[in-house]
Structure 1
Amino acid sequence: MKLDFYPGAGGALLSRPKLEKCSVWSETDRLTDVLLCRPVFLEPVPCCSVTQQSLRDGFTTSVPAALAQHRALQAALERHRVRCHFLDPSESMPDMCFTRDALLTTPWGLLALKPAALHRQAEADHALKALRSIGAPLAARVRRGTAEGGDIAIVRRGLVVIGCSGERTDEAGAESVAEIFMGQGWDVIVYRFDPHFLHLDTQFAMVGEGLALACVDVLSDEFLAQLEARGIETIPVSYKEARALGCNVLSLGERRVLACADNGRVTDMLRGRGYTVETIDLDQFTRCGGGVHCLTMPLARASK
């Protein structure tokens, strides 16, 4: 299949260091560049069950607290030698700080996705135009259906998992993304799940080569068997831990992980496996339904 690449225009970035490359072959390769956006306009949009519960509990966001937590995330990334690139926030895009969903960096360049939520549909073009201005070399568009980055896991070179809830990523969108990877000879698993869980990365995330966190309480036996057949071991995470974004971690590569601070048992399990885990207090975001994985969109990883 020929990729539908297209040129983008310039856009707004708060900082403009040029990208040396824009390519991701695996979610567990060493992270070198990441896209962030300050949560200047963060608000709890009731578009997922976690945020709805937070609102029922009386939660309101504190932008100063969210900004402080986001700066702590940036500092953690920079301690691990990750270059941080920042989108210009927009009042019309309160969820833009969750940069994971609008775009996906593939091995061949940027893929512009199609968020389903009405308040997020402008995010892909906003981010894409900005990234083209710092040298993101190529981009392809999802032309059919809806697809969001939290539903796509580049497990390793040659294997991608696409979550499909029917709401955030629908059948047509999942098929559109799958065709891009299959057209390049990749193995693709499309996993269909209940929209209660918002995105795949609230239930499943790679932490290292051949190792993933998985909410086995809710993931189907068929999907778990598909992972096992492909040599992917899973560390069980409970439903309650997954609701607190326990699966929503960021692999930095080289057995290093960033995680939210509220999941001590998960952190202990990873450390017991020999992983270095740095935890960050991100409750302003987790109560809005997103964790460290949602807040970070890898732009480049050092492929093996």
Structure 2
Amino acid sequence: MQKRKLFISDECSPLRTVILGTAASNGPTPLAEEAYDPKSLAHILAGTYPLEEAMISEIAAFEAILKKYRVEVLKPRLLKDTNQLFTRDIGFTIEDKFIIGNILPDREAEIEAIRWILTDIDPKQIHRPPVEAHIEGGDVILWKDYIFIGTYQGPDYAAHITARTNQAGIDFIKTLFPHKKIVTFDLIKSRVDPYCNALHLDCCFQPVGTHQAIAYPGGFRNPQEYAELAALFGENNIFEITAAEMYAMNSNIFSISPQVIVSEENFHRLNDWLREQQYTVETVPYSEIAKQEGLLRCTTLPLWRANE
């Protein structure tokens, strides 16, 4: 039997197949001590944590746009009372390799929920990092010959539940892709302040089109690293967002193709700029899902973009 097509080399080439997260049977509102990130924690404490019905509606709106552009949309097997929104955490595709993320231990069931999809992929194309190598898909961004990886280099890495990718994870990617230029970025992390926490690299940076990007300079612990990134794209090609826009997840939009971008309907300044750059911008409501410090890119796991 022919195996499933698998190929991703950038963030923007025409999308053919994607695993989209689900909000069904999302479970009860977590306790404060169960929160994975400061934004979720703030909404738990405020009594404004998103309701399952609202998130199901938002996912459905996104799915409808994907199907409008003839994208094959796959879904995880449903797990009762389990948050399965953020498929980007559990795996990612680079070229013709699928890497299973080393995620928080109590989320292991989410990987099993996509096993029915993985069984259609050639086993030689599936890779899992060693146990000491931490890496999640939100920290991995592809652009041309580059693999950009977000990490946290502070000595208190082990104390940060918001630190998801370590040096061992970076070294694992380097071993798998020796022909790629690997560039790492030390990100700001906070367990309590969502305005000072870049949970993943895509929370403060993402390429769009062929040569442009969205970025929050304050998300990078080392200003020199951001300066080098800006120089790589060219400062005139980067749309810089504010701390409030980073909090709202403005950099976590999603490209269906180099010309078509899906964005949140309330990102007015960003969406106006994207349209000025001649992108087609499809908007959806995603502000309830955003309360868990994730947005459109976080809820997707692309398997195939037609750019070979």
Give yes or no for TM over 0.5. Answer: yes
Change (3 A) 1:60 1:231: closer
Q: CA deviation at 1:270?
A: 0.9
129, 132, 150: which one aligns with 1:142: 129
What residue is the counterpart of 2:143 in the other structure? Answer: 155
Q: Is the 8 A contact 2:13 2:307 kept in 1?
A: yes
> Where do 5+ consecutive residues of structure 2 fail to align?
158-162, 190-196
Give deviations 1:137-182, integer Å, cap 9, x for gaps. Answer: 62111113211111100122x211000034211222222223322x
Alignment partners' CA distance in 2, 1:93 and 1:172: 29
Partner SS state of residue 224, structure 1: helix
Q: CA deviation at 1:92?
A: 6.2
Q: CA deviation at 1:59?
A: 1.2
Q: Which amino acid aligns with 1:42?
A: N
Matched length: 281
What residue is the counterpart of 1:209 in the other structure? Answer: 210
Change (3 A) 1:40 1:187: same
What residue is the counterpart of 2:225 in the other structure? Answer: 223
Give deviations 1:79-104, integer Å, cap 9, x for gaps. Answer: 1221101111213642x221111111
Change (3 A) 1:192 1:203: same
Alignment partners' CA distance in 2, 1:189 and 1:140: 21
Q: CA deviation at 1:283?
A: 2.1
Larger CA deviation: 83-92 vs 246-255: 83-92
What residue is the counterpart of 1:3 in the other structure? Answer: none
What residue is the counterpart of 1:168 in the other structure? Answer: 164
Alignment partners' CA distance in 1, 2:70 and 2:3: 15
What residue is the counterpart of 1:130 in the other structure? Answer: 116
What residue is the counterpart of 1:28 in the other structure? Answer: 12
> Where do 5+ consecutive residues of structure 1 fail to align?
1-17
Larger CA deviation: 244-253 vs 54-63: 54-63
Q: Which portions of structure 1, spanning 4 or more consecutive aligned residues, are displaced by more than 4 angstroms?
A: none
Alignment partners' CA distance in 2, 1:136 and 1:268: 42
Alignment partners' CA distance in 1, 2:22 and 2:230: 38
Alignment partners' CA distance in 1, 2:105 and 2:74: 25
Q: How high is the TM-score relative to the length of structure 2?
A: 0.85
Q: How high is the TM-score relative to the length of structure 1?
A: 0.86
Partner SS state of residue 64, structure 1: helix
Q: Is the 8 A contact 2:147 2:183 kept in 1?
A: yes
Q: Which amino acid aligns with 2:119?
A: S
Q: Is the 8 A contact 2:188 2:219 kept in 1?
A: no
1:85 aligns with 2:79: no
Alignment partners' CA distance in 2, 1:176 and 1:93: 29
Question: Structure 1 vs Structure 2: percent identity of aligned residues?
Answer: 23
Alignment partners' CA distance in 2, 1:292 and 1:215: 17
Q: CA deviation at 1:19?
A: 6.7
1:120 aligns with 2:107: yes
Q: Which amino acid aligns with 1:111?
A: I
Alignment partners' CA distance in 1, 2:122 and 2:252: 26
Change (3 A) 1:19 1:75: farther
Alignment partners' CA distance in 1, 2:176 and 2:306: 22
Q: Is the 8 A contact 2:78 2:113 kept in 1?
A: no
292, 302, 305: which one aligns with 1:301: 305
Q: Which amino acid aligns with 1:287?
A: K
Q: CA deviation at 1:20?
A: 5.0
Alignment partners' CA distance in 2, 1:272 and 1:171: 39
More helix by share: 2
Partner SS state of residue 271, structure 2: helix
4, 19, 23: which one aligns with 1:39: 23
Change (3 A) 1:270 1:216: same
What residue is the counterpart of 1:99 in the other structure? Answer: 87
Q: Is the 8 A contact 2:4 2:120 kept in 1?
A: no
Change (3 A) 1:93 1:171: farther
